[in-house]
Amino acid sequence: MFYRTAVITLAIGAVLVLATLGFWAAGGEAEMGGSRTETFFRAQVLSVEKIEIENVVTPGLALEQQLLTVQVTSGPFQGRRITVVDNHIGHPAYDFHVQPGDRVLVSAEAAGGELVNAHLADYVRDHYLAYLIGGFVLALVVIGGLKGVKTVVTLVITAVAVGWVLLPLLLKGHNPIILAVLVSAAVVALTFALVGGLGVKTLAATIGTIGGVVAAGVIAFLVGSAAQLSGFADEGAVALLYVPQEIRFDFRGILFAGIIIGAMGAVMDVGMSVASAMEEVRKANPAVRPRGLFHAGMNVGRDVMGTMANTLILAYTGAAIPLLLVFLAYDTPFLKIANLDMIATEVIRALAGSIGLILCVPLTALAAALLMGRQSVDSRASRP
């Protein structure tokens, strides 16, 4: 009963933390940077006319211009046909090669009930993302059953916590590290309470996971500060300098907050895996002592930790493959690579998260051994 009460208390506390932060985020919204007349809408390409034009910047280099006739397929202008001019500059990252029938995203200004200054913004991709999300949810529910449904609920909670609590408060300039720790702790407690139930397993996994996440944040903060990371290794951080709200962001703090949030998922996996395995050991052998439980949890944790540490490092390495290829192509000296801000940032991000994941194993095993051992002693004492 004690453990059930403790888990319920943690879950209620997590709800209160998220609700308080949510109301705080909703109150006094940061001002937007002026009114926007530009709007985006989906459209379908009806025809494409290609015209070669002379490049006035570099004479003799011909550029291509496309005259697109598109039909709006969403929004108040649905059914309207407009002509869009799309210029090709010979850069694969910015040129759009569309064909009749393609679905595109068009940007235009609404003036007097008409669309003016329309241009091609991007391909329409949200449909495919929706299909993928639907397939993901379906797989969770079909294979996971009730647990899968609970997992979907926890994913929604995580999305709400990040999108409607963490990000708005960061945009107001509040302390990123404190916010990341509070939101992470609340998400961990609610996720484990829903998925793992109200018991000693959930309590132990919550203690170990929060400890691992906080450890990852502390290590990132200490090493990142000593290494003088700027927080501008990502292009998005640089763009924050020019947002219209004119907020003085703590860029290094935002970097560390990102490390905490990024490590949370992997650390949660390890924490729950160790606690679940230890609970099964206790069920199979109710007479097991806390020391035996601890060793069983550590054995399971060592196996899990070996693969999960690779998961974090490979995830960050995979994202950096284009940059690594550039270094290889230009034969960049290792001394320079190792001291680049962007490389040091990614290394600290990966290793701090991995260390937090590793520390989660003994923390969870110790918490579970003490709590489950006490539970076994209480159950033996209650027998006549």
Least confidently predicted of 53-57, 256-260, 375-379: 375-379
Q: What is the percent of the chain where pLDDT is above 70? A: 84
Domain that holds residue 181: 2-28+136-382
Q: 0.95 exceeded by the pTM?
A: no
At 34 the pLDDT is: 46
pLDDT-derived band at 142, boundaries 50, 70, 90 = very high
pLDDT-derived band at 207, boundaries 50, 70, 90 = very high
At 139 the pLDDT is: 94
Q: Are residues 24 and 57 in the same domain?
A: no
Residue 94 in this model has a pLDDT that exceeds 80: no
Residues in the chain: 384
At 7 the pLDDT is: 56
Q: Are residues 75 and 192 in the same domain?
A: no
At 35 the pLDDT is: 45
186 residue type, one letter: A
Q: Are residues 203 and 347 in the same domain?
A: yes
Q: Are residues 144 and 264 in the same domain?
A: yes
The helix or strand, by DSSP H or E, that contains position 216, with its residue range, turns out to be helix 200-226
Q: What are phi and psi of 76, to 5 degrees?
A: -65, -20
Residue at 130 is within a domain: no
The total domain count for the chain is 2
Note whether 45 and 102 are within 8 A (CB). Answer: yes
Residue 384 in this model has a pLDDT that exceeds 70: no
Average pLDDT, stretch 28-46? 67
Residue 301's CB: how many other CB atoms inside 10 A? 27
Least confidently predicted of 63-67, 221-225, 318-322: 63-67
Least confidently predicted of 9-23, 100-114, 166-180, 233-247: 9-23
Residue 346 in this model has a pLDDT that exceeds 80: yes
Average pLDDT, stretch 29-48? 70
Boundary of a domain, candidates 102, 124, 146: 124
Residue at 129 is within a domain: no
pLDDT-derived band at 163, boundaries 50, 70, 90 = confident
- What CA–CA distance (Å, rounded) separates 136 from 47? 35
Boundary of a domain, candidates 104, 124, 144: 124
Residue at 368 is within a domain: yes
Q: Are residues 232 and 112 in the same domain?
A: no
Residue 157 in this model has a pLDDT that exceeds 70: yes
- What CA–CA distance (Å, rounded) separates 209 from 154? 16
The helix or strand, by DSSP H or E, that contains position 88, with its residue range, turns out to be strand 81-88
3-state secondary structure of 30: coil
Q: Are residues 103 and 192 in the same domain?
A: no
3-state secondary structure of 249: coil
- What CA–CA distance (Å, rounded) separates 342 from 239? 16
* CA distances in angstroms from 286 to 46, 222, 295, 298, listed in the order given: 71, 43, 15, 18
Kindly report the average pLDDT of the chain as a whole number. Answer: 82
